[in-house]
Amino acid sequence: MTGHRSFGVLDIGASGGRALLARTDSVTVDLREVHRFANGPVAVTDGSYWDVLSIWQGMCEGIQRLHAAAPDVESIAIDTWGCDFGFIDHDGRLVSNPYTYRDPSRRAAMQSVHDVISEDELFERAGTPLDSIMSVYQLKAMVDGDSLEARSGVQFLMMPDLLVYFLTGKRVNEFTNATMSLLVDQKSRQWDRDLIDRLGLSGEWFADLHEPGSIVGTIDEGVAAALGVPEIPVVLPASHDTASAVAGLPVRSSSADGSWAFISLGTWAVCGFESFTPLVTPDVREAGFGNEGGVAGTTIVVRNLVGLWIIQECRKVWQRELDDVPWERVLAESDASPAFARFIDIDDPRFGGVVPDMPQEIRTYCAETGQVLPDSLGDVARCVYESLVMKLRERVADMARLSGGPLETLHVVGGGIQNEQLCQWIADATGLTVVAGPVETTSVGNALVQMRAAGVVETLADARNMSNSSFDLTHYTPSNVEAWDAAYAAYREVVSA
């Protein structure tokens, strides 16, 4: 691949991490996975944690394989999910394993935050959705409970920041992930120091924010020697995975696609559109949307929904009860079940948490709402998929209104696009053309931000043009719209009840 330039991508999600090699000829980019490792929450008696040392080990193995695959790799960058964090003490050591965003102490601390600052004022200042998973609630719980982290911690590092620290020894906070704390003024793109003080948090915990594309430094000399790799430069991407995914969207700058919105469809379904200023109007908040940091001075106006979590939890039960249940079987039995026979409201809190038996939760909901109970695996799966699509239809309508619409194109990315039927249903239910792909859009965005820092591309628009030119995209044209319109009326009757 003479003439190509190489970049290393470390994309770490809540269920697993990947190391990918990105190669570019300055016109297109190619991604190749070189390592994959498992990740997941670890439940113990006092909470739910991340095994950060296991993540670190998987990341180190990924860096070694990146170097073996491309000794000329120019830089590496790390993105992860949002909200979660760790503390470093005076000796530079990690105080304790980071809690996961599903830990119940976050929800318990919401009221204590809102006793200090009202929900209305907090939204106006931070602009971010007031979701219990946001970092501020865990931080407040730690301070109020005089936790070890609050007593001993001197530096607040979100998950990607923490991994950058392990790798380089540099303590930095990256902007896009920091917005998930609810402690950033997105207009100034800096920490809201007044809010931090009002909540009783230490201002010294928070380092100055760095924008995506900033060069942190290089891999620490000792770490590089231990791994047997050079002191490779480390770049901050949009370290929040949603922001990376939006940076990697295959949107054409001279677009025939017209105005667009996106859905990142994975365990979470993140619905959003891009804005050049934060939108903090009452309409935005009432619709459940908020602002998260984007690249190149942009803001992402988003709403987070329970996405494929429900069907993933169902499959865990089926795997226990029915031995081996591959996804192909789930999809085939869903397709064979009757359409629009029953619905659930995926926003009902019972479906967003960890429950022992998700299919039984769905049956209970159907009984409570006077619907015919699902008899089979396929009935449950069809109910979940159709209910998810109905909720996405509602959120797309919200995005058209809040963005000033009308929308013409819906970019759908993430692992969920491998379900082609689901993509077609989204087009049918919304009446929009769906452009699906690439699957690994987060990794694409990570690579493109590195390439922008290296001068391969000059602008965000150039980067997205490269994404559009590099990957096979599938277009889904709306059909069967009338049937979905009719079914939506039945869905509304169920969820309204």
Active site annotation includes 197? no
Q: Which of 330, 295, 294, 299 is nearest to 312 (CA)?
A: 330
Tell me how far CA of residue 273 lies from CA of 246, 284, 401, 409, in angstroms. Answer: 9, 12, 11, 11
Helix locations, 80-184, DSSP H = 104-108, 110-116, 119-126, 135-144, 148-152, 159-168, 175-178
Q: Which of 213, 229, 210 is nearest to 221 (CA)?
A: 229
Q: Which of 212, 262, 384 is nearest to 311 (CA)?
A: 384
Q: Looking at 11, 79, 84, 241, which residue is catalytic?
A: 241
What φ, ψ does residue 219 adopt, rounded to 5°? -55, 135
297: helix, strand or coil: coil
Residue carrying the six token digits 């709306």: 478
| Whole-angstrom distance, CA of residue 84 vs CA of residue 102 | 10
Residues 31, 444: contact at Cβ < 8 Å?
yes
The kind and range of the H/E element at 445 are helix 441-453
What φ, ψ does residue 108 adopt, rounded to 5°? -65, -25
| Whole-angstrom distance, CA of residue 440 vs CA of residue 458 | 22
How many beta carbons lie within 10 A of that of residue 152, not counting itself? 15
Residues 158, 85: contact at Cβ < 8 Å?
yes
Q: Which of 307, 310, 348, 289 is nearest to 127 (CA)?
A: 289
| Whole-angstrom distance, CA of residue 242 vs CA of residue 248 | 10
Residues with catalytic roles: 241
